[in-house]
Amino acid sequence: MKTANRNLLLFVIPAALGLILGIVMLTQGDAILGAAKEMVPEAPQGEVGDVEGYAMIGGMLGAGLGGLAGFAVQLFGMMAILYTAALLILSGVTRLVYGQTPGRILAYRILMGVSVVVLLSPVPDILRTFVTALAGGSFLPLWLVYMVVVFIIAVKACRNTYSRQIYH
């Protein structure tokens, strides 16, 4: 298998999984918004007592927080979709550029560098979140796994791209 094909697989497989995750999050966020909409209490007819009024306020607060949670899940899903779609498109274009001539290899190396930068772009924010949570006494293993996998992919892709292996 050509090194360019291996690099393509290094980027496409995790990006496709991330795209699927983003789509799932987008649809689940819509389901959460629908459930929050159903939680909104109906206005009672006639005079409302204190207990009913407080119950309505609590129900509205719960529906509002549920709606906010649904919106946050959808927003995170949209961000994941945009990020992974950018990786998929950039990886595909990078693979199409590859050729055995020196100019095409240079273009491939430049585009692969851009792909690695895009791959690593969320890492500073995730690292900040991870360290802040760790300082607060909470351990977020999923973020740690994400960072390790992304760094392994980036190192492997750079090693394949910027060494003599690219000519094979």
pLDDT digits (tens, 9 = 90+) for 69-97: 999 999 999 999 999 999 999 999 999 99
DSSP string, 104-133: HHHHHHHHHHHHHHHHHTTHHHHHHHHHHH
**For residue range 15-65, what is the model confidence (pLDDT) as tens digits?**
999 999 999 999 999 999 888 888 877 777 777 777 777 878 888 888 889
Average pLDDT of the segment spanning 7-20: 94
Query: To which residue do tokens 């900040």 refer?
Result: 128
Instruction: For tokens 């909470």, name the residue.
Output: 138
Q: Name which residue leads in pLDDT, 53 or 142.
A: 142
Q: How confident is the model at residue 153 (pLDDT cuts 50, 70, 90)?
A: very high
Q: Which helix (H) or strand (E) holds 39?
A: helix 3-39
The answer to whether the beta carbons of residues 55 and 42 sit under 8 Å apart is no
Q: What are phi and psi of 122, to 5 degrees?
A: -80, -10
